[in-house]
Structures are given as structure tokens and as C-alpha cells.
């Protein structure tokens, strides 16, 4: 991510957005990476060349930026962030006027306009990095959440340790939780440009788990770099799986009559126990390909309100078109407060099926369905597992690897599937 490339990307993005909104405004934010201010200046300069107005709001979670785009009537939003990656990386995420991620078709159209032959002009960058967001941006972000969950000390009695990962939510999440009445202790909230995600946050919750175990009755919340995800730790110091979080909030929405078409959207990686729990309460689960974009697209097309991934990237379209870690936490805490219950108890509503993921290196990537021996064995094992199990076989998009996920109600049945399929995969696809 060089200055020249980001400037060119800004010009291409600006031309793309200007075709729909010639005099529009783009909201721009960043996380706490050292490269952020310099790349942000390049991006903003490129966007302005297309005739667009640009408003920079400083350091803000990507989910908060999506809400700001909607609140201000902007034609688009952009955030400089590499999410859970190390501080040396950076990237640009765009959203449209609706605050949602752009479609693949829109991204391809934008890329077609990239002109990398020109050099960026000399840019003016602040000498000292500022890791705050503007007051207006904070007020709009907090205001959206307040309208969704109510005013006053609605979290009174909640005690929570926040691991901000030295990232975009280092200031916003603790402040908003405190203003909602929660007692908050904060970890990893001293960004210096180089320490984002470093041994902390959602990718490394070990220290947070220990902190929660040392405090009776507390829960833990960890963010990644742009805070679109969250990892939740219950009062017993146990990590709450993303599927369990989806299950808790889906059940809450079902009980309140606020789950459109009684449907939850998840990816193929989600646990069968989630399907079992939702169906037991009169709902249904729709599965998509892996990735939050696929989940969001299915939700938009079907008009569904709740969806997400096992990783902790969750979507609640009644409040926001984008994933936001604080929003996800508030959905859980809202149920905790109304039920006067512990997270550790609420999560018991879902029985997790055992899963086993095996990664095998491959020499090539033909469609595995085209290999009779493999396809036949998968079909045989799926029939043997029946409704109490499943097999997911897919290639990695970035490595020469095939991933075999087997899930069943009993470990022995998983082992039987592995014993049958792994040798065949190694024979026909292995290095």
C-alpha cells in the first residue's frame, strides 16, 4: 500500500462514486496504524480529484463509519485498515451510500478505472498522529446505538473488561459502555501506531481471559483492529463461540417477534447445534458461502435481520448494514439485562456438535466432485451421517490446500469419516 497506489485508488473510487453522485460527500476514517495518516491523505486527495467532498473523521471503527455514512447522507465511506493483520499492513475498505460493503461487481468496475501510471502530488500530513475521532462522529455513532438500545444507565450492574487491541475502538467502546452505565476496565488501549493487534485483542484473547477469571462476575470483550468483530468471554472465563452469540441474539429476536421471517443467516462453517436450537424455537437457518459479504448479500436479498460468522463478525440489519463489535456486544448485553441472567447461562441454550477441521496440502485444485472415488466416498459418508452430521470439503482461496470439516453428534462418527476420506484425498490430490 504505497502513497501512489492509494492516491490512484482514491481517484478511481472517486470517479466510480461520482457517476452516481457528482457532488457527493465521502466519509473517511482510519484505524491506529502508523501508516494511516499518510495513506489517508493520499486517499482523500484522490477522491477530491474526482470532484467529491471529503470529510475525515479520524480514528473510528469501520462499523461506526458505516453508520455515519447513513446518518450524514454521504454517497460513500472509506476506512484505512487491515483489520486483524499486523501493524505493518494496511488496506482500504469502501462502503456505498447505504453503508454496506460494495458488491464484487462494483469493486471490479472500480478497479477497471485504476490508473497507476501517474505519481501522487506532494501531500500535507500532520506531523503527530492523532488517534481520536471527531466529536461529531462520536456523537452520531453513539446516538445510533442509543436509539437502538435506549437512553439512561441501561447497562447498570454490568461489569466488563474491554481489550481494545490498541485499535480503532480504543476510545469509543469503553466510553460508550460507561455512558450506558457499565463498569469498565480497559486493556490494550494505548495505541502508538505500531502495537495494533500485537499480542492482544480478538486474535490473542489469552490475557483478557485471565483478567476475567480474576474478577468474579465480570465478562470480557475483545476487538480486532477496525473493531468490526468481537470475541466475548463469559463470567467463567470461557470464550463464547460466534455461533453461540448468534444463537443467543437470534433466540432473543424470536421471543420478541423481531426476527424477520424467523430466519438467521450463517455460513457453511457454522455449527449444526445452531440450526438445532433455532429450529427448536420455530425459526430456520440459511447457510451461505464463507465470508461476511456472502452473509450480508443473503440478508439484503431476503430482508433478514440477523446473521454472521463463527469468527465473531456479526450483522444486525435493524441497526446497521455493517458488522460492528460494540453493536454485537450490546445485542448480548441487552438480553442479559432483560433476563437478569449470566452470559455463561444463556449460552447453554445451544448444544455444540463436535467438529474436526483437517487441512491437507494439494498439488492441484480440480473440482473434487469430478474425482469419482472422492465424490463417491463423500456421498457415502454423508448418507451414513444423516441429519446429525455433515461434511464440508473446500479448497483454500490463498494456499494450495484443501480443508475437510467433519461435524457430527459423536466423535467416533467424525473419526470414521476422516479414516475414509483423508487417505483418498491424499492419494488423488496430495503433494
**Which residues are catalytically annotated?**
83
348 contact partners, CB below 8 Å, separation of at least 6: none
For residue 271, give the nearest of 350, 197, 376 by alpha carbon: 350
247, three cell numbers:
444463537
Asked if 308 and 266 count as a contact pair (C-beta separation under 8 A), the reply is yes
If you ran DSSP here, which 8-state letter would residue 362 be given? B
Pairing of strands 401-408, 92-95: unpaired
Residue recorded with cell 490498541:
166
In degrees, to the nearest 5, what angle opens at C-alpha 382 toward C-alphas 377 and 387?
175
Q: How far apart are CA 232 and CA 220, in angstroms?
A: 6
Q: What is the DSSP letter of 182?
A: -
Dist. CA 67–CA 146, nearest whole Å: 13
Q: What SS3 state is found at 321?
A: coil
Burial degree of 341 (CB within 10 A; 0-12, 13-18, 19+): exposed
* Cell reading at 127: 506531523
Question: At 287, which helix (H) or strand (E)?
Answer: strand 284-288
For 422, other C-beta atoms within 10 Å of its C-beta total 15
CB 89 within 8 A of CB 35: no
Task: Identify whether the C-beta of residue 165 lies closer than 8 Å to the C-beta of residue 200.
Answer: yes
Alpha-carbon separation of residue 188 from 61, 95, 391 (angstroms) = 15, 28, 39
Q: Which residue has the cell 474526482?
A: 50
| Cα–Cα distance for residue pair 407/389, rounded to 1 Å | 5
Name the pairing type of β-strands 159-163 and 183-187.
parallel
User: Using an 8 Å Cβ cutoff, are 53 and 23 in contact?
Assistant: yes
Secondary structure letter of residue 63 according to DSSP = H
Please list the residues that pair with 406 across neighbouring strands.
356, 391
Q: Are 57 and 27 in contact (CB under 8 A)?
A: yes
Measured between alpha carbons, how far is 94 from 113 in angstroms, rounded to an integer?
15
Amino acid at each position: 500500500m504505497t502513497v501512489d497506489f492509494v492516491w490512484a485508488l482514491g481517484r478511481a473510487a472517486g470517479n466510480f462514486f461520482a457517476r452516481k453522485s457528482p457532488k457527493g460527500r465521502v466519509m473517511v476514517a482510519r484505524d491506529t496504524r502508523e501508516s494511516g495518516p499518510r495513506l489517508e491523505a493520499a486517499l482523500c486527495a484522490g477522491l477530491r480529484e474526482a470532484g467529491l467532498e471529503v470529510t475525515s473523521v479520524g480514528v473510528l471503527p469501520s462499523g461506526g463509519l458505516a453508520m455515519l455514512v447513513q446518518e450524514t447522507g454521504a454517497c460513500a465511506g472509506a476506512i484505512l485498515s487491515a483489520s486483524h493483520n499486523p501493524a505493518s499492513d494496511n488496506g482500504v475498505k469502501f462502503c456505498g451510500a447505504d453503508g454496506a460493503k460494495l458488491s464484487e461487481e462494483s469493486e471490479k468496475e472500480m478497479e477497471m478505472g485504476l490508473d497507476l501510471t501517474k505519481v501522487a502530488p506532494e501531500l500535507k500530513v500532520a506531523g503527530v498522529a492523532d488517534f481520536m475521532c471527531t466529536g461529531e462522529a462520536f456523537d452520531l455513532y453513539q446516538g445510533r446505538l442509543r436509539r437502538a438500545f435506549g437512553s439512561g444507565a441501561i447497562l447498570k450492574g454490568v461489569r466488563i473488561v474491554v481489550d481494545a487491541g490498541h485499535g480503532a475502538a480504543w476510545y469509543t467502546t469503553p466510553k460508550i459502555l460507561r455512558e450506558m452505565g457499565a463498569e469498565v476496565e480497559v486493556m490494550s488501549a494505548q495505541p502508538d501506531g505500531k502495537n495494533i493487534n500485537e499480542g492482544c485483542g480478538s486474535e490473542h484473547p489469552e490475557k483478557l481471559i485471565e483478567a476475567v477469571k480474576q474478577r468474579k462476575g465480570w465478562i470480557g470483550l475483545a476487538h480486532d483492529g477496525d473493531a468490526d468483530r468481537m470475541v466475548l468471554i463469559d463470567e467463567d472465563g470461557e470464550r463464547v463461540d460466534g455461533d453461540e452469540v448468534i444463537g443467543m441474539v437470534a433466540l432473543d429476536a424470536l421471543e420478541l417477534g423481531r426476527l424477520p421471517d424467523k430466519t438467521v443467516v450463517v455460513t457453511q462453517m457454522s455449527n449444526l447445534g445452531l440450526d438445532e436450537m433455532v429450529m427448536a424455537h420455530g425459526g430456520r437457518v440459511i447457510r451461505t458461502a464463507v465470508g461476511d459479504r456472502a452473509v450480508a448479500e443473503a440478508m439484503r436479498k431476503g430482508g433478514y435481520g440477523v446473521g454472521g460468522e463463527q469468527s465473531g463478525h456479526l450483522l444486525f440489519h435493524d441497526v446497521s448494514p455493517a458488522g460492528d463489535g460494540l453493536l454485537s456486544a450490546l445485542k448480548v448485553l441487552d438480553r442479559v439485562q432483560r433476563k437478569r441472567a449470566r452470559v455463561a447461562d444463556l449460552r447453554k441454550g445451544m448444544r455444540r456438535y463436535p467438529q474436526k477441521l483437517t487441512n491437507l496440502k494439494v498439488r492441484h485444485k480440480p473440482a473434487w466432485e469430478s474425482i469419482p472415488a472422492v465424490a463417491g466416498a463423500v456421498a457415502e459418508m454423508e448418507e451414513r451421517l444423516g441429519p446429525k452430521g455433515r461434511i464440508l470439503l473446500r479448497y483454500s482461496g490463498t494456499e494450495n490446500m484443501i480443508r475437510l470439516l467433519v461435524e457430527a453428534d459423536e466423535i467416533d462418527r467424525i473419526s470414521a469419516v476422516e479414516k475414509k476420506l483423508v487417505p483418498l484425498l491424499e492419494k488423488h490430490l496430495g503433494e
